[in-house]
Chain A
Amino acid sequence: MSGQGVTILKDTAGPLVDRLRSALRLTSMTAVVGRAERGLFRDHLFALNRSRHKSGGRNYYAQAARGLRVATVGTAMVVSINQVGFAQRVHGGTIKPRSGRKYLTIAFPGMAGYGKRAAEFDDLEFGGAVDPKSGRMRKALIRRPSTALRYRRRRQKDGTLRTYVRPGEVTSREAVFWLVRSVTQQADRSVLPSDRDVLGTAEAAINTRLARLQSRGGDS
């Protein structure tokens, strides 16, 4: 009876253990490939951040790199970039104002509105300004010259406070945002590593992992 039992166990357990080993190897392989791809995507996005954010800003691509995650879905691997606007950059397309709004606000590096929302200013008015790039008049949100006084208190070395009063910083009418009816962005596949690099990285990771496991006797 017990012998039969052992025989039965041998017959079914062998393939079961093999399947388990195989599944474990596959899971560990997926994790390794995922980590290798994570490195590729992060390096790519950090490099993009250095080349495209020379004028400052909020380091959009670096944020995308730090928020990148690699998930395994079954035996597949998914790289996910959790950054607002990233899919728009990859796929391109036309952006229009939300319903009830007439314009989009656009600011370029160097403009006071760059990286900000119009709602963050309380001194904007509708107007027109000359676009230095094209030399043409454009609709814009303009910052009113400020007549307000700016108070600043500084602590002195002896611990006392001294108050400084200066005129407001905005002395001339300045275009903070350009107003446009819509924007069409071209698809930019270069924000992601090339398919060739993605495949090459996966292949290299698989080969390295297999070689390591084989050198240790096949099971790890």
Chain B
Amino acid sequence: MIFTAPIPFEEALRSLQARSVFPMSGATRDLAKLDPAIRLRALFSAQVTEVGILDEIQSAVSSFTAGRVDQSSLRVQLRDVVQRSGYRADPEDFGTLRDLTSDARLNLILETNRQMAEGYGHYVEGNDPAILDEWPAQELVRVIDSKVKRKWKRRWIDAGGRFWAGPHRMIALKNDPVWRRLSRFDLPYAPFDFNSGMDLSDVDRDEAVELGLIDEDEQLVPPRVDDLNETLQASPNVRSEALRGMLEETGLGTFDDDGIFNFTAQSEVGR
């Protein structure tokens, strides 16, 4: 039987609800220095210091992830909000990722945030003991053909990964630290980078045993999942205050009077 109303991806949507909006002055490189626990709980975008824009981004990403609104309509909506805020990109940056009204930047914001939420959802789902028992390993695979491909095999080796079943297959147990080390975001699930065409595919126990990754009866210790339920139980104000404290503790910057987190040793904008 085919239903026509989708069932919301609750874990993914919950990960979006748990995020508090935080304007930050930093470039992508600065934001990457933040602890994953902060990045999982804060919604921000490089060089976006307007709370109104971030609120709109959060709402747009939720609608996109829930399958309520299409990407083009959300892009129009976001561009409108950004333009009404008085934002003007540097002429040098028109149409590039540094231009907040460009297709490239808006698509990146929508797609990355959606994929991160879905990645978290799949990760939580995949930690069910029966699922871990049947599929204890996973493989990094290309699912979307990209014009310019990153050197994932080199990155895999650098992250401490091993090739299995020949020189090409990037497989590891689900609780292997290689997944977190592989990620630009320091998170153990896809996406592992911006605009990435790579994703994860389950590897079943029979194959994992055959490859020598695990024994037939060996049980995998589930990887630690950053539990957002506790975060969600707090009111938005409490969540926001807690996150503010976490950001201040990083020592990477300070909040100004407008509530914007300014990085002290700031990288030059996105170059």
Contact = CB atoms under 8 A, between A and B. Distances in A.
Interface of A: 27-29, 31-32, 35, 39, 42-43, 46, 49-50, 58-59, 62-63, 65-67, 69-71, 78, 80-87, 90-91, 115-117, 119-120, 151-155, 161, 192, 205, 208-209, 212, 215-216, 220
A18 to B, nearest CB: 19
A84 B68 CA distance: 6
A35 B92 contact: no
A118 B118 CA distance: 29
A152 B2 contact: no
Nearest to B106: A120
A192 B202 CA distance: 20
Contacts of A151: 91
Interface of B: 2-4, 6-9, 12, 65-73, 75-76, 79, 90-92, 94, 103, 107, 111, 114-115, 118, 121, 125-126, 128-131, 133-135, 143-145, 190, 199, 201-202, 204-206, 216-217
A128 B144 CA distance: 36
A220 B71 CA distance: 44
19 contacts: A32-B131, A35-B126, A35-B131, A35-B202, A46-B143, A50-B145, A59-B144, A69-B125, A70-B125, A78-B3, A81-B67, A82-B66, A84-B68, A152-B91, A152-B92, A153-B91, A155-B92, A192-B2, A216-B217
A82 B145 contact: no
Given A65-B143, A67-B114, A71-B7, A82 B129 contact: no
B70 A84 contact: yes
Contacts of A155: 92
A46 B145 CA distance: 10
A46 B144 CA distance: 7
Nearest to A209: B134
Contact of B143 (A27, A28, A49): A49
B207 to A, nearest CB: 12
A101 B230 CA distance: 47
Most B CB within 10 A of own CB, among A32, A71, A82, A152: A82
B182 to A, nearest CB: 18
B110 to A, nearest CB: 10
